[in-house]
Amino acid sequence: MRVWSRTLSGRLCRVSSSFSENMAEEDNQSLHNENNENIRVRTLRDHMNPTRTSAPSCIVFPPDASHFNFKPGIIQLLPSFHGLDLENPYLHLREFEEVCNTYNDSNCSINTIRLKLFPFSLKDKVKT
């Protein structure tokens, strides 16, 4: 029977059952460094759901926002704003409102539509 063991460097290795006694001792050592300080072992869940490093969005959606269903084609119609000095933010907002006013959804208000679509109109700055 094959058993998996973690080495001191943190790498998984397959060992046979005759080394099961050494495996228990090696597993115990893999959780401690030379100073006998505990090292946090990262689980698969930790790797799949990393900790958030940025601030959460300040946009708070109203209760009817969960009923908003938009078609992917509306995103292509939205104007893009990169935040450059030569761009006019007021012009961007006017064009954005014009596109949002063409979209009609009976399940939610126009303000909900604008809140949901606005992040799609913002783009990263072009690095020069």
Question: What would the 3-class secondary structure string for the chain be?
Answer: CEEEEECCCCCEEEEEHHHHHHHHHHHHHHCECCCCCECCCCCHHHHHCCCCCCCCCCCCCCHHHHHCCCCCHHHHHCCCECCCCCCCHHHHHHHHHHHHHHCCCCCCCHHHHHHHHHHHHECCCCCC
Shared domain for 109 and 73, answered yes or no, is: yes
Shared domain for 81 and 41, answered yes or no, is: no
pTM of the model as a whole? 0.53
pLDDT digit string (tens) for the chain, length 128 residues: 567 777 777 777 777 655 445 544 444 545 445 555 556 677 777 777 767 676 777 777 787 777 777 788 888 999 999 989 899 999 999 999 999 998 888 888 888 889 889 989 998 876 65
Shared domain for 68 and 116, answered yes or no, is: yes
Shared domain for 72 and 104, answered yes or no, is: yes
Shared domain for 69 and 117, answered yes or no, is: yes
